[in-house]
């Protein structure tokens, strides 16, 4: 049977796909479904951990605590549960999706066209609404940041224990604030405007350790379709780089809240553009590399030395920056913090960067 991807996406219901594979799920609200086990990495949700979130309307899904591959669309979800490689076995995945959606050789072409039109209209409306909700949430970030205390005994004790002197950080400006439980927080900035669009905190208790703003909580309602973006720069802004030759032309790209704060101390005079997670490194590299090429500057990438995701994602960032015109070991440098596993630990152990 020959079938178009657009027809399958239009006709396929997410719950029908989950039912086909006997997956237990619960509706968080009218827009989201949560399932306990990730179909890609097999991670089973534990108390306090992140489950897999599936958008009921679009079928887009993500396992926030998983690998970069733990996300996708309806067809990727089907492929994962069926044990199929969506790249190499896409025709089989599409055929299975059509079967679940009830599409066959005898399906009326006119009916398929109507389903596509309805699906496209719903997607466009959903995208508009998500953009509006996200804009509403982002507009609230500056006031929320301003409401957070600049001092907290638990949070400052945690930072000091990581070798990050709270007094030295305060001298650098308004770079860290604290939640009520003491969790240190850093602003996340938009690539284009430099405006704060999220607040990312390192929790002192519970999992997951890193949390960003939840748009439903921010807007005070569960009936939303949008999310707060986590693609941006922690601590500094891309526009802080100077392309006129009079200011900073070195960007530091670390991962996480603690490493972003450590980078502010370890690389004075440079622009710290931290990533909120390992899989965000390549997005920042893609956004900042053209500006560094114009400024004839350097990009210093500081990977987590974890033998896995951190190093893999740092390599992805190198490839992205190289495609934009930077060169490894010339204008791209990987910062080696071994034997420590990350920059904050290295800083606490007495490691210091030596300029080449």
Rounded to whole angstroms, the Cα distance separating 1 from 94 reads 10
What is this structure's pTM? 0.79
320 and 196 part of one domain: yes
CB 86 within 8 A of CB 75: yes
Instruction: Please indicate, yes or no, if residue 274 is contained in any of the structural domains.
Output: yes
Q: Based on the structure, what is the number of domains in the chain?
A: 2
Domain edge (last residue) among 107, 139, 171 = 107
Residue with tokens 């396992």: 63
Quote the pLDDT of residue 328. Answer: 95
Same domain flag for 99 and 163: no
Look at residue 127 and tell me if it is in a domain.
Answer: no
322 DSSP β-pair partners: none
The answer to whether 298 and 249 have CB atoms below 8 angstroms apart is yes
Does residue 341 sit in the same domain as residue 267? yes
Q: Which residue has the tokens 């799920």?
A: 25
- One domain, residues 182 and 297: yes
Range(s) of the domain holding residue 57: 5-107
Residue 48 is predicted with a pLDDT of 45
pLDDT in tens, 230-275: 999 999 999 999 877 777 899 999 999 999 999 999 999 999 999 9
Is the distance from CB of 228 to CB of 277 less than 8 angstroms? no
* Residue 300 predicted with pLDDT over 50: yes
With respect to residue 131, please indicate whether it lies within any of the assigned structural domains. Answer: no
Q: Are 99 and 205 found together in one domain? A: no
Per-residue pLDDT averaged across 329-334, rounded?
95
Q: Which residues contact 51 (CB under 8 A, 6 or more apart)?
A: 34, 35, 36, 45, 63
CATH number of 22's domain: 3.90.580.10
CATH number, domain of 311, equals: 3.40.1360.10
Is cis: bond before 208, omega within 30 of 0? Answer: yes
User: Which whole number is the average pLDDT over 40-68?
Assistant: 77
Do both 309 and 244 map to the same domain? yes
């Amino acid at each position: 049977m020959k079938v178009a991807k657009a027809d399958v996406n239009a006709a396929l219901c997410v719950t029908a796909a989950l039912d086909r594979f006997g997956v237990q799920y619960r509706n968080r609200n009218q827009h989201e479904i949560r399932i306990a086990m990730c179909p890609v990495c097999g991670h089973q949700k534990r108390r306090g951990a992140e489950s897999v979130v599936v958008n009921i309307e679009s079928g887009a899904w993500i396992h926030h605590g998983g690998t970069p591959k733990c996300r996708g669309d309806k067809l990727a979800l089907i492929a994962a549960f069926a044990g199929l490689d969506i790249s190499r076995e896409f025709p089989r995945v599409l055929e299975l999706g059509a079967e679940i959606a009830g599409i066959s050789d005898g399906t009326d072409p006119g009916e398929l066209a109507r389903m596509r039109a309805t699906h496209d209209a719903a997607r466009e409306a959903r995208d508009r609404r998500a953009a509006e909700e996200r804009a509403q949430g982002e507009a609230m970030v500056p006031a929320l940041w301003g409401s957070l205390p600049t001092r907290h005994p638990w949070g400052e004790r945690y930072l000091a224990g990581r070798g990050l002197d709270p007094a030295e950080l305060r001298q650098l400006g308004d770079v860290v604030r604290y939640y009520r439980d003491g969790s240190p927080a850093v602003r996340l900035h938009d690539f284009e405007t430099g405006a704060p669009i999220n607040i990312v905190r390192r929790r002192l208790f519970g999992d997951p350790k890193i949390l960003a703003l939840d748009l439903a909580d921010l807007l005070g309602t569960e009936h939303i379709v949008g999310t707060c973006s986590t693609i941006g720069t922690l601590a500094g802004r891309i526009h802080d780089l100077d392309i006129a030759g009079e200011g900073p032309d070195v960007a530091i790209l670390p991962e996480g809240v603690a490493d972003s704060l450590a980078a502010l101390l370890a690389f004075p005079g440079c622009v710290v553009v931290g990533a909120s997670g390992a899989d965000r490194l390549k997005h920042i590299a893609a956004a900042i590399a053209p500006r560094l090429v114009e400024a004839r500057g350097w990009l210093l990438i500081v990977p987590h030395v974890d033998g896995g995701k951190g190093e893999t994602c740092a390599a992805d960032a190198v490839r992205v920056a190289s495609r934009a015109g930077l060169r490894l070991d010339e204008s791209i440098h990987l910062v080696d913090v071994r034997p420590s596993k990350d920059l904050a630990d290295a800083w606490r152990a007495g490691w210091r960067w030596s300029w080449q």
